[in-house]
Amino acid sequence: GLGSGRQHMVCKAVATSETSVGSAVTQSGVYYNMDSSTKTSRPRLVVLGSGWGAMSFIKGLPSNIRDMYELIVVSPRNYFLYTPLLPAVATGTMEERSIVEPVRNFIVGKGDFYEALCKDIDPVAKELVCCFPEDAGLDSACFKLSYDVLVMAVGSVNNTFGIKGVDQYCFYFKSIEDAGRLRARVSECFERAALPATPEEERKKLLTFVVVGGGPTGVEVAAELYDMIECDLAKLYPNIVKDVSIQVVELMDHVLSTYDRAISIYTAEQFKRAGIKLVLNSRVAAVEDGCVKVLNKANDVTEIKFGACVWATGIAMNPLIRQLQEKLPGQSHFRSVLTDECLRVKGSDGSIWALGDAATIDQPKALDYAEQLFDAADANKDGKLNLQELRQLLNDASKEFSHLEEHARYFDSQSGIRRFGSMLANSNAGASTQERQPLAPLLTNLDTEITLDQFHEVLGKIDKGLRALPATAQVANQQGKYLAKVFASTKITGSPDQDKAVAESVKPFRYFHKGSAAYVGSDKAVFDLPRIGPLTGTGAGFVWKSYETLSQFSFRNQCLVAADWLRTKIFGRDISRV
Ligand code: FAD
């Protein structure tokens, strides 16, 4: 049978024609139905995902949780990936195994795990269709799984913003496979460039590495590439290293635009010293085989030929979330599914909960502030903004919502308005292409001073972004811990009548912003800390490494990560393509 801990579970083949949910069909044309009528007396709690949100939830559940729920975790990956160190894996600073943790290590004794992708949700019948991942190379064995309570932590997907050629010619940077592919590609480019038969122009192209997106991920990928080339490849390929070029393409006029301005300036200087070229105020128009077409503010096109191009621009909505939204009332379309302040999905009668990149808390108070911003703008009849007033409003709002704090400083200057708009757009980066695209030219074309109308236009398109928490591991982690406490302290049944008392007693989730950090190369890092401000340099680099090491979920991985830093320092990186 399927699943060891469920004596009552039956597996029966059901013809696909009989199924009411989903379009998932196995190669053999049958579903295996894990029948809801055979459930145990405990509510069945199904968790979708094995990323930041899901793992901090599972880890936070007490060991006796089996007495309260029949817990089943479903994810197409049977491991957790520590994403902040993914750029280090792409260059061999870190080994893959050091930053992944087997899900089963955390689920054992608490429940069951099924390696499968959820393809469809029926929120009325409370049923899922799940299939073994197709890319695993085996028959995709699909089955139906009923639930009483569903916790969705399915994260987000890559966003190409509809730009031609991205999918085909760029390296995404989200999964462990992505990092492995980039590592192999860099090695391939160097070996190919080193051949005597490679002409100079081709060599230069092969040794040009383009990173699109100057946010923390893009900056860290560029920094790690620089470290690898400077510390290891320069010694191994002394004749061709002069032809290496790393370029970061960014829409704004500075990188790390959501960080303190001093950090952006520091990072730009650090990159300049390292010879990393910043292609600013530029957006990618199209990507072709080995060539990226970039448009500047004046709409002039530049072609950058590359050996590898990394796409690190933003995230979009997981297709499963989009499907769910269409089936629930009260869900609007933007980055993720809307929840209340306790992370219950709106319109699901309390049976579905969501967290992490896949969820957005509908915060009425934040909406109030957004409305006040509009009113403040309206009050100015001369058609210009009263920045002072807007700043004050944002400062007040930031007391309520710590993640808004960083927004306030964007009102320091007229030109800050543009950065503010773009930052909100970024925080709402998962909006559908149609929703987001009209923003790009608007933001690019804004001058140092904008009119009320323009400001309205910006806010009008992005006010929902105000409500969104940043899509970070920090948020997902805190939400996972919070939900674990909620589920462990009260039995959630997923039935609106029984959960009525629960609904009144659950305290809303409150996000505590600890700050942001990024690695910028040459053992240096930057920290943007609330109430402390920016920290930069080698000392910050040491703190960053220590923090990332100690933040691993298990002691085993803390040791592996620490050992990898040390190995890289002593022996350098292994650049072989095995
Ligand atoms: P994820 O961690 O993405 O997990 C989603 C899970 O759902 C995965 O296990 C996936 O396999 C599974 N899944 C997907 N679809 C389905 C489905 N249909 N059915 C079942 N399961 C499904 N944030 C920070 O705070 N600090 C950082 O330094 C940082 N660095 C980053 C570096 C990189 C390279 C990247 C890509 C992200 C980084 N982030 C960082 C962001 C952070 O990783 C995400 O915000 C975080 O992973 C979100 O957690 P989540 O649980 O919502 O989603």
Least confident of 240-244, 357-361, 493-497: 493-497
Whether residue 30 has pLDDT greater than 70:
no
The whole-angstrom separation of Cα 92 and Cα 434 is 38
Whether residue 27 has pLDDT greater than 50:
no
**CA distances from residue 336 to 77, 271, 428, 484 in whole angstroms, order as listed:** 21, 34, 10, 21
> Is residue 504 very low, low, confident or very high in pLDDT (cuts 50, 70, 90)?
confident
The whole-number pLDDT of residue 445 equals 43
| Ligand 1, atom 37: closest residue by C-alpha | 83
Higher pLDDT, 86 or 532: 86
How much is the average pLDDT of 477-506?
A: 87
Q: Determine the distance separating the centroid of ligand 1 and the alpha carbon of 82, expressed in angstroms.
A: 9
The whole-angstrom separation of Cα 117 and Cα 138 is 14
Q: Does the Cβ of 75 fall within 6 Å of ligand 1?
A: yes
The string of pLDDT tens digits covering residues 112-126 is 999 999 999 999 999
Q: What are phi and psi of 214, to 5 degrees?
A: -100, 30
Whether residue 45 has pLDDT greater than 50:
yes
Amino acid at 248: V
Closest ligand 1 atom to 357 CA: 52
The whole-number pLDDT of residue 324 equals 94
Proportion of the chain in helix, strand, coil states, percent, rounded to 5:
45, 20, 35
Q: Does the Cβ of 123 fall within 6 Å of ligand 1?
A: no
The string of pLDDT tens digits covering residues 270-314 is 999 999 999 999 999 999 999 999 999 888 999 999 999 999 998
**CA distances from residue 76 to 45, 51, 103, 317, 468 in whole angstroms, order as listed:** 18, 11, 11, 17, 27
Q: Count other C-beta atoms under 10 Å from residue 169's C-beta.
A: 18
Closest ligand 1 atom to 52 CA: 51
The whole-number pLDDT of residue 490 equals 87
The whole-number pLDDT of residue 378 equals 53
DSSP one-letter code for 290? T
Q: Does the Cβ of 51 fall within 6 Å of ligand 1?
A: yes
CA 401 centroid distance within chain? 21
Q: Does the Cβ of 320 fall within 6 Å of ligand 1?
A: yes
> Is residue 32 very low, low, confident or very high in pLDDT (cuts 50, 70, 90)?
low
The string of pLDDT tens digits covering residues 317-363 is 899 999 999 999 878 656 688 898 899 999 998 899 999 999 988 76
The residue to mutate among 129, 159, 357, 511, having the most atoms of ligand 1 within 8 angstroms of its beta carbon, is 357
The residue to mutate among 46, 47, 52, having the most atoms of ligand 1 within 8 angstroms of its beta carbon, is 52
The whole-number pLDDT of residue 297 equals 83
Coil, strand or helix at 325: helix
- Percentage with pLDDT > 70 across the chain: 74
Q: Determine the distance separating the centroid of ligand 1 and the alpha carbon of 533, expressed in angstroms.
A: 27
The whole-number pLDDT of residue 53 equals 98
Q: Does the Cβ of 22 fall within 6 Å of ligand 1?
A: no
Whether residue 142 has pLDDT greater than 60:
yes
The whole-number pLDDT of residue 452 equals 53
Q: Determine the distance separating the centroid of ligand 1 and the alpha carbon of 385, expressed in angstroms.
A: 38
Least confident of 177-181, 440-444, 494-498, 548-552: 440-444
- Tokens encoding 440: 């790009």
Name the residue among 404, 405, 323 with its Cα closest to residue 123: 323
The whole-angstrom separation of Cα 68 and Cα 42 is 6
| Ligand 1, atom 32: closest residue by C-alpha | 84
Contact call for residues 100 and 80 (beta carbons, < 8 A): yes
| Ligand 1, atom 3: closest residue by C-alpha | 155
Sheet hosting strand 111-115, strand order edge to edge: 111-115, 70-75, 44-48, 149-152, 352-354
